[in-house]
Structure 1
Amino acid sequence: MIEVNGWAVIRESYKEEDDDNELLNSIVKQIESKLNELDYRNEFYSLKCLNGTYHLSIMVNHNHRTVTEHVIDFFKWIAQISKGSYGIMYVQDDEDIERGNEDKFKVWSMKKGKVVELNDIYLSPLNPEIEE
């Protein structure tokens, strides 16, 4: 099983002087277009504007990793097109045995145009932190 839970705040820049509403609107339209292409079962994506700030939510639950690689690619793509965006995506993949992560969450951190994979310190290992 693979479980993904994540969020991102969509911003065009991480420098206030580089803020550009036209660019932000273009980025939001690109993301909305991409969301229309992501028509997968057992996945939920939501892009909402709250108080003038765009928030993206991602929830995924599949049986196998091979059908979810597009989720991490989507997260990375957002970082590329909107350098000011930031967020976190938690991934638990019980098939990640080769790297020894079958009992752990991995954290994908987005900031300043980059996405990196990190070790989780809050929910891992699943046993005993969440399950026994």
Structure 2
Amino acid sequence: MFEYHGWVTVRESAGPEDGEEFVVEQARLRRLVAGIEERARQIGGHGLVDVRWINGEPFLHLGGFGNHRDPGIPAFFREVGARAPGSYGLLYVHDDEDRAHPDGFVVHRMVRGRVSEQADALLSPCVPVVEDPWTA
């Protein structure tokens, strides 16, 4: 089982966006986001991969639940950070095929486009925190 939920605020840089070059920066950001949208269509699959502009800012939302591991999801999350190095967000993944964390979520944390991973402390371990144990 492979469950994932995440979001990214997509930003070209971590710098202020109110400079004199705002129109040029917005055009560059729109081209950058168009590339992410194209990749999102390719990833698609069995879940939600949605890029949306809200109040003039681009956001990526991810969510899904598959029978087996999908390494393309965390890879896409990292790719967004590489393409848009001012981006930030979180991706929670529960992968029962992950030998290090079979009963817990792993948090992929993006800050300034760089992704790090850490074990989750809020929803893990899945049994008994979010699910009851199986009874025979």
Report the TM-score, using the length of structure 2 for normalisation.
0.87
Tell me the number of residue pairs that the alignment of Structure 1 and Structure 2 aligns: 127
Q: Does the alignment pair 1:43 with 2:47? A: yes
1:56 match: secondary structure: strand
Identity %: 34
Residues in 2 aligned to 1:39 and 1:52: alpha-carbon distance in whole angstroms:
24
Q: Which residue of 2 aligns with 1:21?
A: 26
Deviations for 1:61-95, whole angstroms, at most 9, x for unmatched residues? 11111xx1011111001000101111000000111
Instruction: Letter of the 1:56 partner, please give it.
Output: L
Correspondences of 1:73-112 after superposition (within 5 Å): 73-97=75-99, 99=100, 101-112=101-112
**Cα shift at 1:39:** 3.7
SS of 1:16 mapped into structure 2: coil
Q: Which amino acid aligns with 1:72?
A: P
Equivalents in 1 of 2:8, 2:62: separation in Å? 9
Query: Mean Cα displacement is larger for which, 11-20 or 84-93?
Result: 11-20
Amino acid at match of 1:92: H
Structure 2 runs not aligned, ≥5 long? none
CA distance in 2, matches of 1:50, 1:43: 21
- What is the CA–CA distance in structure 2 between the aligned matches of 1:26 and 1:83, rounded to whole Å? 14
Shift of 1:60: 1.8
Aligned to 1:60: 64
1:4 partner letter:
Y
Q: Aligned-pair distance for 1:43? A: 1.5
- When Rg is computed on C-alpha atoms for both structures, the one with the higher figure is 2
Cα RMSD over matched residues? Answer: 1.4
